[in-house]
């Protein structure tokens, strides 16, 4: 019996063929150059006008022949330009991501990582605010006493209390404005509570003073 061996079909990429006409054309150019150089007795080396005229003539013939390949050359150039544009776009995107990452890193970096000067500034500001909070301390409203930074006589004078309260409010506003990024919300709330207590103390003294005047 006869065994039939199956034929495997393999895909092959066709070779880029060189036209026989092109080969003959290039060969004729080389022969033309050599023949003209011998006929005109051109030197083999050094500048020579006759040899230049021969090569210029050959160059013009090659350019004229290359016009037939214009479509193929334009397609190759278009593909090359598209590749260059895509590579440039990816490079620009990579640079943009690096800049955005650096910006986000700087924005979220804590104060202590930004150098000793910033750290000392924050510490000094917090110390200053702590002094202010201790100064504007709250006092019980169940009995009358003189306010912080005031004498007993000034604590019983509504005008003196008014002036002192205005100074405290101005000082508080200035400090909160300067330290809005360094002071915690807990400290602000505590300061507001203490200032509110000082206002109640002032109002209580004013009421008591008015009652005494009537008597």
pLDDT digits (tens, 9 = 90+) for 96-129: 888 888 777 766 555 445 445 555 555 555 565 5
* Strand ranges, E, within the chain: none
**pLDDT at residue number 32:** 92
**Cα distance between residue 114 and residue 211, in whole Å:** 58
**pLDDT at residue number 141:** 40
**Cα distance between residue 180 and residue 118, in whole Å:** 15
Instruction: Give the residue carrying structure tokens 């008015």.
Output: 210
At 191, list the tokens.
């300061």
Helices in 67-149 by DSSP H: which ranges?
A: 70-108, 116-135
Which stretches of the chain drop beneath a pLDDT of 70? 1-20, 68, 106-158, 160-161, 178-188, 213-215
**pLDDT at residue number 112:** 46
What H or E segment, with its residue span, contains residue 166?
helix 158-178
**pLDDT at residue number 138:** 45
Q: In terms of pTM, does the model score above 0.95?
A: no
């Amino acid at each position: 019996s006869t065994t039939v061996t199956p034929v495997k079909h393999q895909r092959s990429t066709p070779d880029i063929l060189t036209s026989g006409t092109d080969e003959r054309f290039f060969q004729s150019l080389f022969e033309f150059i050599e023949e003209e150089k011998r006929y005109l007795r051109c030197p083999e080396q050094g500048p020579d006008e006759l040899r230049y005229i021969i090569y210029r003539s050959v160059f013009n013939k090659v350019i004229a022949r290359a016009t037939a390949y214009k479509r193929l050359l334009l397609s190759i150039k278009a593909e090359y330009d598209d590749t260059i544009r895509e590579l440039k776009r990816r490079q620009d995107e990579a640079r943009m991501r690096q800049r955005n990452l650096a910006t986000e890193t700087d924005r979220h970096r804590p104060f202590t990582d930004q150098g000793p000067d910033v750290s000392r500034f924050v510490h000094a500001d917090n110390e200053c605010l702590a002094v202010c909070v201790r100064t504007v301390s709250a006092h019980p409203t169940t009995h009358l006493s003189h306010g912080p930074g005031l004498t007993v006589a000034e604590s019983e004078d509504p005008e003196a209390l008014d002036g002192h309260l205005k100074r405290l409010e101005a000082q508080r506003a200035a400090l909160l404005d300067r330290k809005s990024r360094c002071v915690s919300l807990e400290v602000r709330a505590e300061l507001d509570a203490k200032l509110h207590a000082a206002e109640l103390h002032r109002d209580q003294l004013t009421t008591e003073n008015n009652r005494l005047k009537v008597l």
